[in-house]
Chain A
Amino acid sequence: MAFQILLNIVLAYLWMFIKVSFDPVSFVKGYLFGLVVIFVLRRFFRSRFYLFRIWSFIKLTLIFLKELLLSNIAIVKIVLKPKLTMHPGIFALQTNLTKDWQITLLSSLITLTPGTLVIDISEDNRTLFVHAMDIGEVQDEISGIKNTFEKAILEVSR
């Protein structure tokens, strides 16, 4: 992905040198033409065409914002209840992510959504220990996290 972006910038500079006009407008033009060229020849690269990855990153951000809103509403409901009926607890979450930045991103997203909080990671980076404010059905929590965040992060790094 980084190589594709670098190649695109180099192509934009090549365009500027061909046109002998060194201003931002011709840089943007060259960047767009380079984007088209890279898109047509995208099967040369081992990774995906990089605009798809940027699009999946935007999707991850939108999923995070949606989760943030929903879980905030759930926490407000728990707080405003006259009776204290919540059951805090800690559960282990097996993760399929391998790279360091993926696990860091996943744990940051879990921590930033209210109600769940990453406490620790196991030695082999395969298990996250998550504290939940209201532990209803553990299996539901795990599958919820897996289906939203983990899938989106895998989509970004594909």
Chain B
Amino acid sequence: MRQPNNMILETALKLLLFFIVLFSIYIFTAGHYYPGGGFIGGLMTAGAIVLLLITYDIKTVQKILPVDYRIVTAIGLLFSIGTSAGALFFNVPFLTHVFTHVEVPVLGDLALHTATIFDLGVYFVVIGVTMTIILTIGEDE
């Protein structure tokens, strides 16, 4: 069985991967005002990693991204629970979010919202769960 020559796929991926990841980050940040958010952004980032898995093998991808995806899931859950439970310290109900406008010298007016951190937790959970499922299916010998 002759191994196919993946040269074209690898070269195209070297360029396309960065575009996909950047677009997924945009989708994640646009979630408050436009369609998007943590779930779809996390799925798209996981899709980029799956594209890496299709092009190379699992060992190479583990070298490129030395991440344990179960820990990523745990960190995401911690983010979400932490932002929800933080409301309890200020005597307001669970899951109450606050937002402020902050004047940063260079960037100008930033609207900071704690729901973004909650969404970041969702983002990490989606990446972790998707990659755990795919890797456990792919790794069984």
Residue ranges of A at the interface with B (Cβ–Cβ < 8 Å): 100-101, 103-104, 107-108, 118, 120-123, 125
Chain A residues closer than 8 Å to B12, beta-carbon distance: 104
Contact pattern, B 1-30, Cβ under 8 Å of A = 1, otherwise 0: 000110110111000000000000000000
A104 touches B7 (CB 8 A): yes
B contact residues, total (Cβ < 8 Å):
7
Q: How far is the CB of A63 from chain B (nearest CB, A)?
A: 21
Q: How far is the CB of B49 from chain A (nearest CB, A)?
A: 22
**New A-B pairs, 10, CB < 8 Å, besides A104-B8, A120-B4, A121-B5:** A100-B10, A100-B11, A103-B7, A103-B8, A104-B7, A107-B8, A108-B8, A120-B5, A121-B7, A125-B7
Q: How far is the CB of B104 from chain A (nearest CB, A)?
A: 17
Cα separation A103 to B5 with both chains bound (whole Å): 12
Q: How far is the CB of A44 from chain B (nearest CB, A)?
A: 30
Q: Which of B4, B5, B11 has the most CB of A within 10 A?
A: B11
Residue on B with the closest CB to A101? Answer: B11
Q: How far is the CB of A125 from chain B (nearest CB, A)?
A: 6
Chain A residues closer than 8 Å to B7, beta-carbon distance: 100, 103-104, 121, 125
A125 touches B5 (CB 8 A): yes
Can you name 23 A-B residue pairings with CB atoms under 8 Å?
A: A100-B7, A100-B10, A100-B11, A101-B11, A103-B7, A103-B8, A103-B11, A104-B7, A104-B8, A104-B11, A104-B12, A107-B8, A108-B8, A118-B8, A120-B4, A120-B5, A121-B5, A121-B7, A121-B8, A122-B5, A123-B5, A125-B5, A125-B7
